[in-house]
Amino acid sequence: MKAIISASELASDLAASRPPTLLDVRWQLTAAAAAGAPPFDGRAAHAAGHIPGAVFVDLDADLAGPPGPAGRHPLPTLEHFGAAMRAAGVVSDAPVVVYDGGQGWAAARAWWMLRWTGHPDVRVLDGGLAAWEGPLAIGVEEPVPGDFRPVPGGLPLLDADGAAAVARTGLLLDARAGERYRGEVEPIDRVGGHIPGAVSAPTTENVTEGGRFLPAVELARRFESLGVTEGTEVGVYCGSGVSAAHEVLALTIAGIGAALYAGSWSEWSADDSRPVAVGADPQ
């Protein structure tokens, strides 16, 4: 099963007799929003124009629990996530396509959540809404409720101790920007730096300037250069488990399995007892 879908493929699938469930997960995280500025209103953006049939899903409300010691975007309860997906029309045996505004991070978080909880057929629109050339609908869709019941374990998941272990014995990738990894700047979390042993692997380097994923062979070559070899246990983290999901998706496209540390740096750095490394050296 492919993890991504092109805009032309999506248009064809939507015209079929049984179109996929389509989820709009537009979301943004900026330093200004983190500092208290009004957040991006994905729901309003959806109502102003979306791919016909798409239902809006709120990343902060539906794909994450309340922020706290477990991070800025901890995993939601299964009960809450399942109810949100059923309300959005997700059906257990029908394909799902998710998209966002083009960055791909939010859509990847939705993809990861659905795959982790057992949905067998989920794809991300490569390039997001920016890649869509068809008409847009306005207003709010009223989907038929779905029947999806989440069962965790479909994809590997790490906690803080597990991430530390992968950094020692496997390959732990840090999907944030290089300057945050090195601790030169930290606009959001309590302290800058990285998990000792983690390797810098900004997720922005997995895509073209237009925001579409690099071909699988190029992604595989990139991850090999970062230390992925046959049999390597791979984990990924970022600031709060959103852009890291995008990196897990890129690894999947390259044919590489990887675990997500959902709490990520926002959880790790909140605990003073956990070590912090700075600079370009993983250690």
Measured CA to CA, the distance from residue 145 to residue 45 in angstroms comes to: 23
What average pLDDT does the segment 162-184 reach? 97
HSE-CB for 246 with a 13 A CA cutoff: 31
pLDDT, one tens digit per residue, over 30-71 is 655 556 667 788 999 999 999 999 999 999 999 999 999 999
Give residue-wise pLDDT tens across range 108-155.
999 999 999 999 999 999 999 999 999 999 999 999 999 999 999 999
Closest to 243 (Cα-Cα) out of 92, 112, 85: 112
The band of 208, judged by pLDDT with boundaries at 50, 70 and 90, is: very high
Buried b (16+ CB within 10 A) or exposed e, 237-259: bbbbbbbbbbbbbbbbbbebebb
pTM of the predicted model as reported, rounded to 2 decimal places: 0.95
User: So what's the pLDDT on residue 283?
Assistant: 86
What contacts 282, CB < 8 A, 6 or more positions away? 167, 194, 196, 197, 198, 199, 200
224-275 per-position pLDDT tens digit: 999 999 999 999 999 999 999 999 999 999 999 999 999 999 999 999 999 9
* 238 is annotated as an active-site residue: yes
Mean pLDDT of 157-173: 98
Residues of the chain with pLDDT > 70: what percent? 97
- Identified catalytic residue from 7, 63, 157, 238: 238
- The residues that bridge with 97 in the sheet, in sequence order, are 22, 123
Q: How buried is residue 68: exposed, middle or buried, by Cβ count under 10 Å (0-12/13-18/19+)? A: exposed
pLDDT at position 170 is 97
- DSSP secondary structure letter of residue 231: T
pLDDT at 39: 75
Write out pLDDT tens, residues 261-274. 999 999 999 999 99
Confidence of residue 1 (pLDDT cuts 50, 70, 90): low
pLDDT at site 36: 66
Q: Which residues contact 273 (CB under 8 A, 6 or more apart)?
A: none
Are the C-beta atoms of residues 55 and 131 closer than 8 Å to each other? no
State the virtual CA torsion across 259, 251, 126, 206 in degrees, nearest 10.
Answer: 120
